[in-house]
Structure 1
C-alpha cells in the first residue's frame, strides 16, 4: 500500500523527499535504487517519512515513501510498502542527534574515501582539515573534523547500533558519517540543511582524493558485536 498523506504538511513533506531524491539521482549520487532520504513530519516530529525500498530515485513520487517511528524505524501503519533497508540507521541518528532530516547516498568521492579508510571490524576516522568548506558543517571548530567510517556489516541493525554508540560518546562528531565501501550519510535540522552538508562533505572528499594526499586515518578499538545468537 502506498503512503497517502492525510494533511497538507504531510503531502508537502512527501513531495520534498521526491524532489530531493530526483535532484541527487540526476547528480549520479543515487544510481539505480540506491540511497535513502528521510525527514520528520512537521506536525508529528516523533514520526518520519522515508523513501521506500527498491524504488528508482529518479522516478520517485510523493507516494513512494513510508511513515515510520522516528526513534525505532518501525512502520507506523500496517500494510505500507517496505521502508528503506537502512531505516534503522536513520532512527539511530534521530535518537542521538535530534536531527530532523537524514540523507544517505552513494556519491563517488565519499564512497572512494570510505573504501580507502575502512577497517574490516572497527570504526575508523579520516582527518579533514584546513579546507574552507568545513565551515559549511556547523562545527564547533571549523578548522578540522574527524569523519567516522563504519564497517558495513551485513546486518543493518548492527551498523545502527555502532552509529548510536559512537554518536552517544562523541558529542563533537560532524553531521555525517561514511560506511565502508558503501557511501555517506548526513543530517541536519531540515532537508535543505542536510543536503547542503552532504554537498560540503562530498566536495571535501573530492578534494582529499584529487590532492593525492595520504589519508590520515585513525583506527578505534574493534566494534562490539551486537549480533544475537541464532
Structure 2
C-alpha cells in the first residue's frame, strides 16, 4: 500500500524525501533503486519516513515512502509497502545519536574508499587529515577524523548492531560511516545538514583517491 499521509507534516516530510532523492539521483549518487533516505516526522521523534524498497530514486514520489518506528525500524502502519532493506541501520543511528535525518548513497569516491579500505570481517577506520574541507563536518578538532568502515554483512541487522556499538563507543566520531564495497551513510539534525555532511565526506574521499596516497587504515 502506498503511503497516504494524514497530516500536513507527513506530506511535507514525504515531499522532502522525494525532492532529495531526485537531487541525489541526478548527481549519480543513487543510481537505479540504490540508496535510501529517512527523516523523522516533525513533532514526533518516535516515527520516521523512509524510502520504500526497490523504488527508482530518480522518479520517487511522495507515495513511495514508508512510516516506521524510528528506534526499531519496524513499520508503524499496517499494510504499507516494504521499507528499505537497510532500515535497521537508520534506526541504529537514530537510537544512538539522536539525529533527525539519515542518508545512504552509493556515491563513487566514497564507495571506492570503502572498497579499498574495507575488511571482510572487522570494523576498520580510514584516517582523513589536513584537508581544509574537514571543517565542514563540525568536528571538535578539524585537523583529522577517523572514518569507520563496516563489513558489509549479508545480515543487515548485524551491520546495524556493529554501527550502534561503534557510535555508542565514539560519540565524538564523524557524522558518517562507510560500508565495505557498498557506499556511505551520513546523518544530521536536519535533512539539509545530513546532505551537507554527505557532500563534504564524498569530496574528502575524492581527494583521497585523486591524491593517490596510500590509505591510512587501522583496526577500529
The TM-score by the shorter chain falls in which range?
Answer: over 0.9
- Aligned pairs (5 A) from 1:167-186: 167-186=167-186
Output the CA distance in 2 between the equivalents of 1:51 and 1:149. Answer: 23
1:3 matched to 2:3: yes
CA deviation map 1:152-186 (0-9, x unaligned): 00000000000000001012110000000000000
Which residue matches 1:142?
A: 142
Output the CA distance in 1 between the equivalents of 2:59 and 2:216. Answer: 39
Q: In terms of mean alpha carbon deviation, does 205-214 or 1-10 score higher?
A: 1-10
Structure 1 segments, 4+ long, off by >2 Å, are none
Which residue matches 2:30?
A: 30
- Aligned pairs (5 A) from 1:152-167: 152-167=152-167
Which residue matches 1:210?
A: 210
Q: What SS class does the counterpart of residue 122 from structure 1 fall into?
A: coil
Unmatched runs of 5 consecutive residues or more in structure 1:
221-230
Q: What SS class does the counterpart of residue 123 from structure 2 fall into?
A: strand
Output the CA distance in 1 between the equivalents of 2:40 and 2:20. Answer: 15
Output the CA distance in 2 between the equivalents of 1:204 and 1:73. Answer: 30
1:46 matched to 2:59: no
- Aligned pairs (5 A) from 1:36-185: 36-185=36-185
Contact 1:119 1:219 in 2 (8 A): no
The CA deviation at 1:44 is 1.2
Aligned length: 220
Output the CA distance in 1 between the equivalents of 2:125 and 2:155. Answer: 21
Output the CA distance in 2 between the equivalents of 1:162 and 1:36. Answer: 19
Output the CA distance in 2 between the equivalents of 1:75 and 1:136. Answer: 34
The CA deviation at 1:45 is 1.2
Give the CA RMSD over aligned residues: 0.5
Q: What SS class does the counterpart of residue 57 from structure 1 fall into?
A: coil
The CA deviation at 1:43 is 2.2
Unmatched runs of 5 consecutive residues or more in structure 2:
none
Q: TM-score, normalised by structure 1?
A: 0.95
Output the CA distance in 1 between the equivalents of 2:135 and 2:50. Answer: 28
Which residue matches 1:187?
A: 187
Output the CA distance in 1 between the equivalents of 2:109 and 2:56. Answer: 22
Q: TM-score, normalised by structure 2?
A: 0.99
Output the CA distance in 1 between the equivalents of 2:99 and 2:135. Answer: 19
Output the CA distance in 1 between the equivalents of 2:205 and 2:7. Answer: 39
Which residue matches 1:197?
A: 197
Output the CA distance in 1 between the equivalents of 2:152 and 2:120. Answer: 8
Q: What SS class does the counterpart of residue 38 from structure 1 fall into?
A: strand
